[in-house]
Amino acid sequence: MRYEVFQNVCTKHQIEVLLIAHHADDQAELFILRLSRNSGVLGLAGMAFTSQMFSKSTHLYGEGSKNKGILIVRPLLDFSKEVMYKVCQESGQDWVEDPTNQSTVYARNRIRMSLGNLSSYTFQSEVQGVISACRRTRAYVDQICNNLINQAVTIIDHGYAIIDLEILNPSQSYRYMPVKVCCIDLAVCLSKEQAH
């Protein structure tokens, strides 16, 4: 719900980049939470430094508005909450604490309270090291997937795609499948054009 509010405000005011104050402690909490829920390596990579948020529905606030999405940037992921407190204190900057963070109703808060008791530098650096390794794995998987998509998928101007299944799975025999996919999509496309 919080991101939906952020998205509505950003869209209304044509804000394209949103900075979020997630920090290293948040990343460690998310890691433990996902680990407890049997997440795989990609999930254990945690929050990305940048991600894109797209609207579920298109709202136009003025002529020429396009739904390009909002770039979410998390520049503080490498900084601990303790360091951020010190920076604020030393510069005389006030901050706001979310009172719901103290509620033990939420699993994340229970994890946060438990991690507070294990706040040794060694433990924190080891957790961050595992998260970094998972993040590198996710980046590698993303790169492989992007390369595969670029090789196997052709986007056609009429709004459909041709997928070369042989590239996706070379061990299977798909001699006629790409032609059928292309013909079916072409027929659908032509029937839509004829309707106009």
**Percent of the chain whose pLDDT exceeds 90:** 30
| Residue 72 reports pLDDT greater than 90 | yes
Q: Which two tokens stand for residue 26?
A: 């948040």
**Percent of the chain whose pLDDT exceeds 70:** 77
Arithmetic mean of pLDDT over the chain: 79
Residue 174 has what pLDDT? Answer: 53
Residue 160 has what pLDDT? Answer: 80
Q: How many residues does the chain have?
A: 196
Q: What is the pLDDT of residues 111-147, one digit of tens each?
A: 888 877 656 667 777 888 899 899 899 999 989 988 9
| Residue 99: DSSP 8-state | G
Q: Which two tokens stand for residue 143?
A: 């790169």
pLDDT band at 173 (very low <50, low <70, confident <90, very high): low
Nearest 5°: CA angle at 155, between 16 and 191? 115
Average the pLDDT over 155-169 and give the result. Answer: 82
Average the pLDDT over 77-85 and give the result. Answer: 90
- Residue with the larger pLDDT of the pair 80 and 64: 80
pLDDT band at 20 (very low <50, low <70, confident <90, very high): very high
| Residue 59 reports pLDDT greater than 70 | no
CA 145 to chain centroid: 15
Please give the Cα distance from 6 to 1 (Å, whole number). 9
Residue 67 and residue 7 in contact, taking contact as beta carbons nearer than 8 Å: no
Residue 33 and residue 18 in contact, taking contact as beta carbons nearer than 8 Å: no
Question: What 3-state DSSP class applies to 21?
Answer: coil
Relative to beta strand 160-163, strand 153-156 is antiparallel
Nearest 5°: CA angle at 22, between 21 and 24? 130
CB atoms within 10 A of CB 182: 17
Nearest to 80 by CA among 136, 134, 121, 19: 121
Average the pLDDT over 6-28 and give the result. Answer: 92
Please give the Cα distance from 192 to 115 (Å, whole number). 58
CA distances from 12 to 9, 55, 63 (A): 5, 12, 12
Question: What 3-state DSSP class applies to 159?
Answer: coil
Residue 172 has what pLDDT? Answer: 66
| Residue 55 reports pLDDT greater than 90 | no
Residue 9 has what pLDDT? Answer: 93
Residue 57 has what pLDDT? Answer: 58
Q: Which two tokens stand for residue 67?
A: 């739904």
Say if residue 34 is exposed, middle or buried (CB neighbours under 10 Å; 0-12, 13-18, 19+): middle
Residue 87 has what pLDDT? Answer: 94
pLDDT band at 106 (very low <50, low <70, confident <90, very high): confident
